[in-house]
Structure 1
Amino acid sequence: MNPPPITPQPTHAAPVQVALIGYGGAGRIFHAPLITGVPGLRLACIVTRQHEAVQRDWPGVPCLASVGAALADPAIDLVVIATPNDSHFELARAALQAGKHVVVDKPCTVSLAETETLLALAEQQGRVLTVFQNRRFDSDFLALQQVLDSGQLGRVVQVNSNFDRYRPAVPVRWREQNLPGSGLWYDLGPHLVDQALVLFGRPDALLLEQANVRDGAQVNDWFHAVLRYDRPQGGLRVILHASTLVAEPGPRWTAHGTEGSFTKFGLDVQEDALKAGQRPQLAALEDWGRDPQPGQLLRMANISGVAAPVSVRSAAPQPPGNYLAYYAQLRDHLWGLAPAPGVTPAQVRAVMQLLTLGAESVT
């Protein structure tokens, strides 16, 4: 899961021509800068009514008023959908039917049935359908992966993934309205579920609680999910939690095992950097994605002559985050250099299964 090296463009491979649909928060903050930061991808057009914003941010990139115009362009190879969740299915289906590869901002759709339909269509068309899971490349997640892979915690029995923020005012936007696919479970849930699946695979059971905690909240803005893993050597619980009303957040991650614990405070810095207008380039990352707040390892060591284990505290690994790696992995697959995109059809389906099961269990 470490960020991939820069792949030289094969002599026979033309740049991948990308159409971005939507220029709201996801398209403007994440997709446009990341697409343009990866060699071998070319942002060919943006479909939005925000013409002035596109021309200000990306002079020279055509701004189209209709999705149909982008899908009818035979030069377009890849369509990136960064629109409200309840529009994902129809837009992705139209793009696949037009013979395009498709990236959908998370979640893939608002139901497992819709996602299954798209995956079947993509297979029939011989095209890629994948979901934007940039938080596989958070610095804190990469650090946790390295700690778990090292075996320093022994047998892991509990992992807590907390993604808390303090946003007491309910903004006027579609994510906060009572619409299909709205609410925090379908916003942050896809990322936290995907991270758990990458680390531990499919759980044996999922228990989800949701709540509306802010004044005036129309949809869930708090959730607590427990993923149960039954194993012969002992059970594992992975706890996914997110809230919009936490003024003093605790650790982003804690992991506890038979030989020690890992604790990490603070969120990955890349989102704030992108919001501030920074534009990373895969060819010159320098200090991009470096976390100023390393995690901590507390290990219990058995020392000769000492009756009880002694705790030893040390800094955890501190790999840099790199959201560009998501698009670099996809590019390599489209160039024929990798057998699958970074987020595979099976992984797209698995995340949507858990999101749907969770949502159905609390309705």
Structure 2
Amino acid sequence: MNTPPIKTGVVGYGFSAKTFHIPFINTLAEFDLCTISSSQTEVVEKDFPQAQLYETAIDMIEDSDIDLVIITAPNDVHFSLAKLALENNKHVILEKPFVTSSAQGEALIALAEQKNLVLSVYQNRRWDGDFLTVKKLINENTLGNVKYFETHFDRFRPEIRQRWRETATEGGGILFDLGPHLIDQTLQLFGMPSAITAHCRILREGSNNVDLFNITLHYPDKIAVLQASLFCAGPNTRFKVQGDLGCYEKMGLDPQEDRLKAGITPTSAEWADEDVESYGHFYDVQTSQVIKTERGGYQHFFLGVADAINNNKQPSVTALEALQGIKLIELAIESSEKGKTLSIS
């Protein structure tokens, strides 16, 4: 017996919804895009005439019969909208960051467990090809015992853009925007650290949010350095992973985001493959070799959510994992403000 598609509603019709969510919901047979809430009524009606349009997220959550709500609204309403959706017996995908405080995250996790509903966070970068390559090299012991891990998400945006991601007083700035990606990937590789040292700086003129952060996560046998800067105009380092058998270095960013922005439909397995000229390199004492980038695919996140909903399983990204990332963001802010390393119990 075929499982009917999951009736899905999307909160918001901005960059995140149009680039990272709707292309998958609209192409995967496991989902049915039924509703969208947005004030851009004419645009949504033109792009998706088959979807029922709501002017507010609250109306959509309370009045529609959808099974799953995807929340791409500003960070400061993640908690309230997710709470409302769970209270109305709907599964939830939240864009990262999960929430803006660990207390909010704990409350949502408890509510989802009480309601027996799926609550997941869109940590799509777990399915970046370069990250999957790093994961494979570590698991296969190609690098030996990893001693130093460095991950970047740098951009060149020296002037403030008037948009909520940069100006919001709660959950704004790149620590909440890019930090969850770097933190989640690092936790996937190495687990929770024993201590954290962070520098979170507001450096752009007129800015009220973090523009550059450098976070060191301390482990008993290694350190991990996570950095995001809005002042990187040159080629972007993505990964440096150094072990006692060799190191792997990778430049540039996974191609999936640019392809989605260009309107490429993610309907084939090959759509996420990286071009040969972008592959990273492995070095040891005697050799240097090009390492083919593993095949990524953000569709795997959504397929994991569908499996969780249809078969009462844990999603590929659990809210508890996302909560660990929020706790590290809180500790990074505290470490930076106090100017010292903090132990993590």
Q: Which range, TM-score by smaller chain?
A: over 0.9
Extract unaligned runs of 5+ from structure 2. Answer: 338-345
Match of 1:236 among 222, 242, 259: 222
Which one of the candidate residues 276, 286, 300 is aligned to 2:262? 276
Partner of 1:122: 112
Determine the structure 1 residue equivalent to 2:308. 333
Render the CA deviation track for 1:251-308: whole Å, top value 9, x for unaligned. Answer: 2101001110100011011111111222212xx23343424411101123xxxxxxxx
Computing the radius of gyration from Cα coordinates, the structure with the larger value is 1
Contact 1:146–1:317 (Cα < 8 Å) also in 2 = no
Structure 1 counterpart of 2:245: 259
| TM-score w.r.t. length of structure 2 | 0.93
Structure 1 runs not aligned, ≥5 long: 1-10, 301-310
Q: CA-to-partner distance for each residue in 1:97-143, whole Å, 9 max, x for gaps?
A: 00000011011111000110110011111111111000001111111
- How far 1:31 moved relative to its partner? 1.2
State the distance in 2 between where 1:241 and 1:201 align. Answer: 18
Relative to structure 1, is the Cα distance of residues 178 and 59 closer, same or farther in structure 2, using a 3 angstrom cutoff?
A: closer
Among 261, 279, 299, the alignment partner of 2:284 is: 299
2:282 maps to amino acid = L
Superposed counterparts of 1:53-92, under 5 Å: 53-73=43-63, 75-92=65-82
Task: Please list, as runs of the form range in 1=range in 2, the aligned pairs for 1:315-326 lying within 5 A after superposition.
Answer: 315-326=290-301
Of the three residues 26, 31, 41, the one matched with 1:41 is 31
- Please report how far the alpha carbon of residue 317 of structure 1 lies from its aligned counterpart in structure 2 after TM superposition: 3.3
The answer to whether the 8 Å contact 1:157/1:257 transfers is: yes
Task: Return the offset for 1:74.
Answer: 5.8
For residue 232 of structure 2, the aligned residue among 237, 246, 252 is 246
Do 1:147 and 1:316's aligned partners in 2 also have CA atoms closer than 8 Å? no
CA shift for structure 1 position 312: 1.1
CA distance in 2, matches of 1:206, 1:100: 36
The alpha carbon displacement at 1:339 in A equals 2.8
Deviation string 1:40-98 (CA, Å, 9 cap, x unpaired) is 11111100011122233323222211223322346311001001000001000000000
Higher helix share: 2
C-alpha separation in 2, matches of 1:348 and 1:237:
21
The partner residue of 1:168 within 158, 165, 178 is: 158
Question: Which deviations, in whole Å up to 9, do the C-alpha atoms of 1:318-348 show, x marking residues without a partner?
Answer: 1122111110111111111x73100123312
CA distance in 2, matches of 1:263, 1:288: 20
Q: Distance in 1 between matches of 2:157 and 2:123?
A: 23
* Contact kept in structure 1, 2:149 and 2:241, CA below 8 Å: yes
Tell me what 2:343 maps to.
none
> How high is the sequence identity, in percent, across the aligned residues?
36
Q: Is the 8 A contact 1:268 1:291 kept in 2?
A: no
1:169 Cα deviation from its structure 2 partner: 2.2
Q: Does the residue aligned with 1:113 lie in a helix, a strand or coil?
A: helix
- Whether the aligned pair in 1 keeps the contact of 2:308 and 2:315 (CA below 8 Å) is yes
Q: Corresponding residue for 1:183?
A: 173
> Can you list the C-alpha shifts for 1:218-247, whole angstroms capped at 9, x where unaligned?
2111100000001xxxx2001000001111
1:81–1:103: 8 Å Cα contact kept in structure 2?
yes
The residue number in structure 2 matching 1:288 is 272
Normalised by the length of structure 1, the TM-score is: 0.89
Conserved in 1, the CA contact under 8 Å of 2:24 and 2:299?
yes
Q: Which moved more, 1:326-335 or 1:343-352?
A: 343-352
| RMSD between aligned residues | 1.5
8 Å CA contact 1:139–1:291 kept in 2: the answer is no
Aligned length: 336
Q: Give the Cα separation in 1 of the matches to 2:322 and 2:271.
A: 31
